[in-house]
Amino acid sequence: MEHRRLGRTGLEVSALTMGCWEIGGLFWGPVEAEAAVALVRGAYDVGVTTFDLANNYGNGRAEVLAGIALKDVRDRVVLVTKAGYIMGADGAQSVMERPIAQRFDRAYLQWECDMSLWRLGTDRIDVYMLHDYLLYASDPAVAATDEPFEALHRLKEQGKIRHYGVSSSPEVARLAVERYGAEVVEVPFNLLDRRAEQLFPVARERGAGVLARSPFANGRLFRPAEGGRDYGTFVRPPARSLAELAMKFVLAEDAVASVVAGIMRETELSENVAAAGAPFLSPDHLRALRDAVPA
């Protein structure tokens, strides 16, 4: 498994980050606790050292299970977790009004950070992020306030978090980097959604680490009926499948430190580990993909 530097943080992250929402066992369906712990530990055993979590994944369950699985290797892994959604919402999305209520005030972030530390069984969080920050704001530039970032600075001063950032749209992530010095951003980036390419030059200039999520465009990449295009026709070595092509496309971008993929089963783990490995796509292959597939 290749490892890359996460911006200016000094952290080394695995090219594949295990997304842990699925092991929360609510929104995505039941996952036995023992199986979830084994899956997380299995990911570590094959070279995955970076794990993406949130306080509300399974309403805290994912953090607990990851903490148990990684307890004896804590110093060798990077734990990314997030806060912003009200606890209790996961698994209840179908009956909730949209957008789901969020909080980013100082008191809330302090409390949730302490709870995440407790659930993870650790004394520090490597990367702490505002979860879907301002994703629902009609004008993020106007809606942004200093308070959440003041709270993050305070948590860093206290030693509870090592680095901070936002998980949101590329537009909000750019605002967070430019205005508030976000050290890490997590944004969607894939063959069908390349908005993050406007963020990458700013991230490079400011030294912000980039985690790319949604490599499969929320499944749209595998539905050729949309637009009448079969993206599988673009598969050629070193990619052996459309899923592998999607992962290698993301990791070919030098601004991306790691691709975040949700993993629920051992088969998904082995497939994603293989897809995240070198060699990646050639410049000619990348150019052909960008020319042929509208972003």
Ordered alpha helix ranges (H), the chain: 33-45, 61-69, 106-120, 140-143, 147-157, 170-180, 200-206, 242-251, 266-275, 283-292
The 8 Å CB, 24+ separation contacts for 223-229 are: 229/293
Judge residue 154's burial from the number of C-beta atoms within 10 Å of its C-beta, 0-12 exposed, 13-18 middle, 19 or more buried: middle
pLDDT single digits (tens) 59-72: 999 999 999 999 99
Question: What does pTM read for this prediction?
Answer: 0.95
Structural tokens at position 155? 């948590």
pLDDT of residue 289: 86
Q: Which pLDDT band holds residue 176 (cuts at 50, 70, 90)? A: very high
Judge whether residue 281 has pLDDT over 90: no
The SS3 call for residue 69 is helix
CATH 3.30.930.10 for domain 3-292 = no
Structural tokens at position 214? 């949604």
Give the number of other Cβ atoms within 10 Å of residue 95's Cβ: 6
pLDDT of residue 185: 98
pLDDT of residue 205: 97
- The single-letter code of the amino acid at 161 is I
For the chain, the average pLDDT equals: 93
Gap between the Cα atoms of 54 and 153, Å rounded: 19
pLDDT single digits (tens) 90-128: 988 888 877 677 899 999 999 999 999 999 999 999 999
Structural tokens at position 192? 């069908």
Quick one: average pLDDT of 233-257? 91
Structural tokens at position 136? 């629902």
Of 203, 178, 179, which is closest to residue 253 (Cα–Cα)? Answer: 203
Q: What is the Cα 48 distance to its own chain's centre?
A: 14
